[in-house]
Amino acid sequence: MGFLQDFLPSSYHGSMILLFLFFINGGASLEISPQSSTGRDQAASCNIFQGSWVLDDSYPLYDSSQCSFLDPEFDCLKNGRPDHMYLKQRWQPLGCDLPKFDATKFLSQLRGKKMMFVGDSLGRNQWTSLMCMLTAAVPSSRTRFVKGQPMSSLTFLDYGFSLMFYKAPYLVDIKLDSNGRVLKLDSIQQAQCWKDIDVLVFNSGHWWQHIGPQQQGWDYIEVGGRMSRDMNRSLAYATGLKTWANWIETNIDPAMTKVFFQGFPATHFNPSEWNGTSKKACAGETQPVEGSTYPAGRPPLQLVVDGVLAGMTKPAVSLLDITALTQLRKDGHPSVYNEDRNAGAVDCSHYCLAGVPDAWNQLVYASLFSS
């Protein structure tokens, strides 16, 4: 179809996306079901990514006021959120129970190792959650925190364990040249910083939807030596993920490194998706969606993730399929109780801490240590 039909106009969606996924996977057919099977091998008795939220008086897992690493944008209680029931929600898979998060076991099993979250602020949301979960459980353990750009780290000195975050919203490279900021869909040189890590948790997605020079992180897109002002975002996302997938298959030994890809965390800006009537997006929501089914379907960009992972030839990546469980948590966002609350900002993308990302880390724990 030519060179992606000169990047294709932004109106191309649906079947064109699936056709492109067929193309980038070398002609291998893809069967994308509503629920990806990539993560199913992580629990023998059930799919730990399907379930519902239940009240549990033993929650939250930590006191957010005692976590010195908590970013102000995630600290909903400090920002004045008056309701507390969102803190008492526990993820309950259908057909089995998640193992209790044991911080001492986690640190002992990963003694002398490195774990890195790579991606955007949703990855930082999860990284911050894990720092709070671990330090709350082992408060006497000596730590060293280093905040940097693009990488920050917390080292548990008594265990020789490093927990890191590397900011890379698109995973592929952005380079400055005479044209400005260029998003290079087929370049991933920064990945050299991700080698020799024992556990990698990647995420990318939300930034691919940002439109306009003030919102997106680039001025031009380049692929195959050709630049464009823009292209179909789902196709751009698929191309970038394919570059990342090729790097994983070339550089990562599954016997030595465990790799997760964080699924697409749901946003709640459109109340019609959960049959709501509010005109203020997620603001004012205090309860999860009842049951285990979300009225809106699987997000289009998550279908892209499913397709790229299905096309990988090595079983090197486990999908941390948090899409369904986050879709149910319309109440879990900072909403108006965020760092910019005085400016009237409503955050329905990130999640409060303590809160929903703690469940993501419980799922990682179950995947690493329950077998």
Task: Report how far residue 351's alpha carbon sits from residue 118's, in angstroms, rounded to the nearest whole number.
Answer: 18
What type of residue sits at position 129?
S
Task: Report how far residue 33's alpha carbon sits from residue 132's, in angstroms, rounded to the nearest whole number.
Answer: 35
Task: Report how far residue 304's alpha carbon sits from residue 235's, in angstroms, rounded to the nearest whole number.
Answer: 9
- 160 sits in the region (left: phi over 0; alpha: psi -120 to 50; else beta) called left
Instruction: Choose the catalytic residue: 75, 120, 173, 347.
Output: 347
350 is an active site residue: yes
CA distances from 48 to 94, 97, 127, 181, 324 (A): 7, 8, 20, 40, 11
Instruction: Choose the catalytic residue: 52, 64, 121, 234.
Output: 121
Task: Report how far residue 220's alpha carbon sits from residue 344's, in angstroms, rounded to the nearest whole number.
Answer: 31
In contact, 198 and 110? CB cutoff 8 Å: yes
String of DSSP letters for 78-121: TTT----GGGGEEEEETTS-PPPP-HHHHHHHTTT-EEEEEESH
Instruction: Choose the catalytic residue: 52, 318, 350, 367.
Output: 350
347 is an active site residue: yes
Beta strands 114-119 and 161-167 are parallel
> Given the structure tokens 């400090």, which residue do they identify?
78
121 is an active site residue: yes
Contacts of 234 (CB under 8 A, 6+ apart): 13, 17, 20, 300, 301, 304
Catalytic residues: 121, 347, 350
